[in-house]
């Protein structure tokens, strides 16, 4: 995590240094996320959203760097939560994320297709955890992090493709959250721990597709 933070700071300095000679544009960005949890019994993907601000710096030879600051909602619909028979869990979490997109693609005058590699870091702002057993509610609370054993900091990587037409940019990307979502803080609510530790305790985390559209000025 510290190494990724250091890399992100260095990238920020490089962007500042390069902006003097590169072509830059600001914009707004938003889209949808189709997320699930890794290595667990998912009942299906959860469709949520993202929205924020972005900045594009074009470099020579078809390269560009595009950091953004976005609110990104992710979630998972879990079946057999905590290895308990007939137990389900729905978890949604909203993060303030800083993704830095590295893009390469040829400028074909009317449009520009490109490849995309995007490391990101984020901090959790809110969440909603709902658990049930055999249809009966067992736990339902909002904005629980350490008391539910959920890690608030996140980091990961996205790989994708995109196309740029005039001021519009569309990107499809698959994202992996790294590190375990569950972390025992020592003061975890036992009712929540039965579900969260049993579900995410082996290193499971969010992953899934995102589709975003940016308007650049």
In the chain, the N- to C-terminal Cα span, in Å, equals 33
Range 26-216 classified under CATH 2.40.160: yes
Both tokens of 189, joined, read 């609510």
- Tokens 């959920």, located at residue: 150
pLDDT digits (tens, 9 = 90+) for 104-149: 999 999 999 999 999 999 999 999 999 999 999 999 999 999 999 9
- Could you read off the pLDDT of 158-210 as tens digits, one per residue? 999 999 999 999 999 999 999 999 998 888 998 899 999 999 999 999 999 99
List the beta bridge partners of residue 97. 70, 122
- Is residue 107 helix, strand or coil? coil
Q: How high is the pLDDT of residue 2?
A: 59
CA 112 from centroid of its chain's CA atoms: 25
pLDDT above 70 as % of the chain: 90
């Amino acid at each position: 995590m510290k190494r990724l933070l250091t890399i992100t700071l260095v990238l920020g300095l490089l962007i500042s240094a390069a902006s003097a000679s590169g072509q830059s544009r600001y914009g707004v960005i938003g889209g949808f996320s189709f997320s699930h949890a890794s290595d667990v019994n998912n009942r299906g993907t959860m469709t949520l959203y993202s929205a924020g601000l972005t900045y594009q710096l074009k470099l020579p030879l078809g390269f560009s760097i595009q950091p953004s600051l976005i609110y990104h909602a992710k979630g998972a619909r879990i079946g057999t939560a905590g290895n308990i028979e007939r137990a389900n869990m729905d978890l949604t979490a909203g993060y303030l994320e800083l993704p830095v997109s590295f893009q390469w693609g040829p400028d074909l005058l009317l449009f520009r297709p490109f490849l995309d590699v995007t490391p990101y870091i984020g901090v959790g702002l809110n969440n909603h955890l709902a658990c049930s057993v055999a249809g009966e509610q067992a736990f339902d609370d909002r904005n629980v992090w350490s008391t539910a054993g959920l890690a608030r900091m996140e980091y990961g990587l996205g790989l994708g493709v995109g196309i740029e037409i005039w001021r519009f940019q569309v990107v499809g990307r698959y994202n992996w959250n790294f590190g375990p979502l569950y972390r025992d803080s020592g003061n975890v609510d036992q009712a929540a721990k039965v579900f969260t530790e049993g579900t995410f305790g082996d290193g499971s985390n969010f992953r899934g597709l995102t589709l975003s559209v940016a308007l650049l000025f």
